[in-house]
Structure 1
Amino acid sequence: MKVKFIGGAGTVTGSKTLIESNGIRILIDCGQFQGIKPLRELNWEPLPILPSTIDFVLLTHGHLDHCGWLPRLVDQGFKGKIYCTSTTKDVAKLILLDSAKIQEEEASIANKGRYSKHEIAEPLYTVAQAQKVLPLFRVIKPNESISLDAEIEAVFTNAGHIIGACTIELQLENKILVFSGDIGRDNDVLMYPPTKPKKADYIFLESTYGNRLHPDTDAKAELERYINNTIQNGGTVIIPSFAVERAQMLMYLLWQLKEEGKIPNIPYIIDTPMGISVLDIFENNRKWHKLSEAEYTGMCKMFSMVSDYQETIATIYDKQPKVVIAASGMVTGGRVLSYLERYIGLPETTVIIIGFQAEGTRGRKLLEGAQEIKIHGKYYQVLANILEIDSLSAHGDQKDLLNWLSNLENIPKKIFLVHGENEPLDELRIKIIEKYGFDCIIPLMGSTFEL
């Protein structure tokens, strides 16, 4: 049996791990690279193996960096089955179609504005190509074993993080392989704590926050303070947000603040068509989250939901102070860019960054104090207040990741640390060795190991 790391190794995005066993090839996640240009350019490169030779794809969850390369995989010949929970299927469908639509739009804008370095800018994939992925999905139930092949079993268990997200356990060749996916927090506002593995010979553990502890601060109090200060100065609050789970969590916290009379009666807007669609998934999948029906209904009533782009334009040019939640979470695309074009140069504006910001993304640059950012080929001076609420991340921190390993009844042969940048990877490796004495490896992109 072999494992080959063809994405998500030494970086936080592009997750793809290939398992080869007795002539069967299984790809765990099929994510899109995001962030710095050398990583984004990998999205255009072919896989080191032919997609037609892959038998199965197992998806941990529906975020773009875990499912966003599926249209390319299918376009290049993959005809196998894609297994995931029904909720992940719903989320992935939204994300893939939205991603394709944004890429088509951005290619069109680049061609009209002639700011692309290519003679003709092309999308990574089209909506039509994304739609070809959908018939290949096969839904599984969490905590139930499924047979992929005569001697290969898989079990999906709750990982927290976002709605539908799972850890995947593979049983093959008398070994147990556990793929963490993205691990949620033990005390998340909306999601239930992740299920800890009990037995594993090999573990593939995400390391996004491997060197960080989430601050023990009151996110609601921070939101209250930032919003009130901005509104008192006549400004607008813009919150770039991931459309899945973070947008809904923000809605819930803001609704609580409004119910408590702690924030003013101004327009509260959610401008992410996908985020609005995800609300339906929340309503139809109550077992995956903590929201009651009354809480869900109450928070939805509080927000103006903007889906039509003409409504976006009208909202942007409405001069009254407001709070806007808009995708994308790392400020890499989507509606939030249109808001920032208008508001990033106004000193009374507040931009609140939440969640992990990958290297090279606009979100990371803003946090690092960039004085200007490039949007649609133009540079905009950053005069807005850039603030961060670190405690709202959907990823478990170092303590959560170490705790996730605490129920193991055996000593794993190896732990492969993936889905992290260099410093978090190495610090988590040291912490695991100190706490548990487990053998840890940080694989390089493209590396292969025999198991």
Structure 2
Amino acid sequence: MKIQFLGAAGTVTGSKTLIESKGIRILVDCGMFQGSREVRQLNWEPLPILPSTIDFVLLTHGHLDHCGWLPLLIRQGFEGKIFCTSPTKAITRLILMDSAKIQEEEAEKANKEHYSKHDPAEPLYTVEEAEEVLPFFRVIKPDTFFDVDAEISARYFSAGHILGACSIELFIEGKRLVFSGDIGRDNDDLMYAPVKPQEADYVFLESTYGNKLHPDNDPKDELKQAINEAYEKGGNVVIPSFAVERAQAIMYLIWQLKKAGEIPEMPYIIDTPMGVKVIDIFEDNREWHKLRSDQCQEMCAVFSMITDYEDTIAAIYDDQPKVIIAASGMVTGGRVLSYLERYIIRPETTVIIVGYQAEGTRGRKLLDGEKEIKMYGKYYPVEAKIVEIEGLSAHGDQDDLLNWLSELEEKPQTVFLVHGETEALVTLKEKIETRYAMNCEIPYQGQIVEIN
């Protein structure tokens, strides 16, 4: 059996792990690379194997860095099955359609305003190509073994993180391979705690926050303080947010603060069409989260929900203080850029960063204190106040990752650390080796490991 690391090896995005056994090829996740131009360029590179030779894809969840390369996989010849949970299918559809639409719009804008180096600028894939992914899905119930192939079986079990997110237990050649996917937090406001694996011969563990502990500060108090300070200055609050789960978690906290009378009466806006649609998925999948239907309805009543871009323009040019939640979470695209074009240059503005920011993204540059950021070919001075609330991340921190390994009955032969940047990977490796005396390795991009 061979394992090849085709993505998220030494970086946080582009998750793709290939398993080859007795002529069968299985791809765990098929994500898009995000971040610096150099990293994003990998999306345009062909895989080292032909997609037509891949038999199955097992999706852990529906975030873009885990599913966003599927349209290209199919365009390049994949004809197999894509296994996932029901919420993951619904979310992946939204994510891919939104991603394709943004790419088409940005390519059109780049060609119109001539700021791209490519002539003409083209989207990575189109809305039509995103739609072509849907017939390949096969929905799997969690905690139930199913046959991937005649001699290969698998089981999905909850990873927390977002709706439908699961870790995967794969039985192949007498070995038990466990892929963590992205692991959520043990004390998340909306999502249940991740289920811990009991047995594994080999573990493939995400390491996003392998070198960090989420602060003990109450994120609700930090959010309250940031909103009230901006309101007193007459400024707007812009919260770049992932449309799936993080947007809803922020909505939940704002609803709690509003209900307690701890933040002012002013417009609270959700401007992410995908985030609005995700609320329906929350309603349809109540067994995956803690929010009751009546709570969801009461929470939504606090917000103005924008889907039409004309309403976005109206909100942008309405200068009264307001709070805007808009995608994308790493400020790599989406409607949040339209708000930042107008508001980033104003010192009374507050931008609240609430999720992980990969290297090279605008979100990371804002956190690193860059004095200007580039949007749509133009540079804008950063005069706004930049606030980070780490406690709102959907990813488990170092303690959560270590705890996830705590119920393994026997030591796995190897724990492979993926989906992390260098410092996070190295730090988590040391922690795992010290606490559990497990053999731990950090694979590199393209590496092939043979398992006997």
TM range (shorter): over 0.9
Question: How far off is 1:235 after superposition?
Answer: 0.3
- 1:170 paired with 2:166, answer no
CA distance in structure 2 between the partners assigned to 1:256 and 1:302 by the alignment = 10
Match in the other structure for 1:254: 254
Q: CA deviation at 1:119?
A: 1.3
Superposed CA deviations along residues 381-401 of structure 1, whole A, max 9, x for unmatched, are: 100000000111000000000
Residue of structure 1 equivalent to 2:105: 105
- Between the two proteins, the alignment pairs up a number of residues equal to 451
Give the whole-Å Cα distance in 2 for the aligned partners of 1:236 and 1:38.
33
Report what 2:202 is aligned to: 202
What's the counterpart of residue 314 of structure 1? 314
| Structure 1, unaligned runs of 5 or more | none
Tell me which amino acid in the other structure corresponds to 2:261: G
Q: Residue 152 of structure 2 aligns to which amino acid in structure 1?
A: I
C-alpha displacement of 1:150: 1.1
Which residue is 1:375 aligned to?
Answer: 375
- Aligned partner of 1:28 in structure 2 is 28
**What is the letter of the counterpart of residue 296 of structure 1?**
C
Aligned to 2:359: 359
Identity of aligned residues (%): 69
1:319 shift after superposition: 1.2
**1:276 Cα deviation from its structure 2 partner:** 0.2
Question: Which residue identity lines up with residue 275 of structure 1 in the other structure?
Answer: G
Letter in 1 for 2:85: T
- 2:67 matched to 1:63? no
One-letter code aligned to 1:215: P
CA RMSD of aligned residues (A): 0.4
Q: What corresponds to 1:291 in structure 2?
A: 291
Greater mean deviation of Cα atoms: 239-248 or 289-298: 289-298
- Residue 335 of structure 2 aligns with which residue? 335
Secondary structure (helix, strand or coil) at the match of 1:351 reads strand
Moved over 6 A (4+): none
The letter for the 2-side match of 1:414 is T
Deviation at 1:38, TM superposition (A): 1.1
State the alpha-carbon separation in 1 of the partners of residues 297 and 165 from structure 2. Answer: 24
- Aligned pairs for 1:12-23 (under 5 A) are 12-23=12-23
Gaps of 5+ in 2: none
Equivalent residue, structure 1, for 2:431: 431
Whole-Å Cα distance in 1 between the matches of residues 278 and 146 of structure 2? 27
Partner of 2:389: 389
1-structure distance, mates of 2:217, 2:205: 27
Asked whether the 8 Å contact 1:252–1:295 carries over to 2, the reply is: no
Equivalent residue, structure 1, for 2:189: 189
- DSSP-derived class of the 1:204 partner: strand
Partner of 2:156: 156
**Cα deviation, residue 292, structure 1:** 1.2
- The answer (yes or no) to whether the contact 1:247–1:275 under 8 Å persists in 2 is yes
Q: How does 1:256-275 map to 2 (within 5 A)?
A: 256-275=256-275
- Secondary structure at 1:188's aligned position in 2? coil
Query: Offset at 1:403?
Result: 0.2
**3-state SS, counterpart of residue 430 of structure 2:** helix
SS of the equivalent of 2:148 reads: strand
Letter in 2 for 1:127: V
Q: Match of 2:388, SS? A: strand
Identify the residue that residue 231 of structure 2 maps to in structure 1: 231
Aligned: 1:96 with 2:93: no
Could you say what secondary structure the match of 1:14 adopts? coil
Deviations 1:24-71 (A, max 9, x none): 000000000000111100000000000000000000000000000000
Q: SS at 1:341's partner residue?
A: helix
1:142 aligns with 2:113: no
- State the TM-score, normalized to the length of structure 2: 0.99
| Structure 2 match to 1:414 | 414
Offset of residue 295 of structure 1: 1.2
Residue 271 of structure 1 and its aligned partner are, at CA, apart by 0.1
Q: C-alpha separation between the residues in 2 aligned to 1:188 and 1:449?
A: 35
What displacement does 1:359 show?
0.1
SS of alignment partner, residue 190 of structure 1: coil
More off after superposition, 173-182 vs 293-302: 293-302
**Offset, 1:162:** 0.5
Give the AA of the match of 1:48: P
Per-residue displacement from partner, 1:140-171 (whole Å, max 9, x unpaired)? 00000010111100100000000100000000
Provide, for residues 324-347 of structure 1, a one-character-per-residue CA deviation record: whole Å limited to 9, x for no partner.
Answer: 000000000000000000000000
C-alpha distance in 2, partners of 1:223/1:214? 15
SS in 1 for 2:71: helix
Tell me if structure 2 keeps the 8 A contact 1:230–1:350.
Answer: yes
Q: In the alignment, which residue of structure 2 is the partner of 1:7?
A: 7
Q: Distance in 2 between matches of 1:318 and 1:179?
A: 47
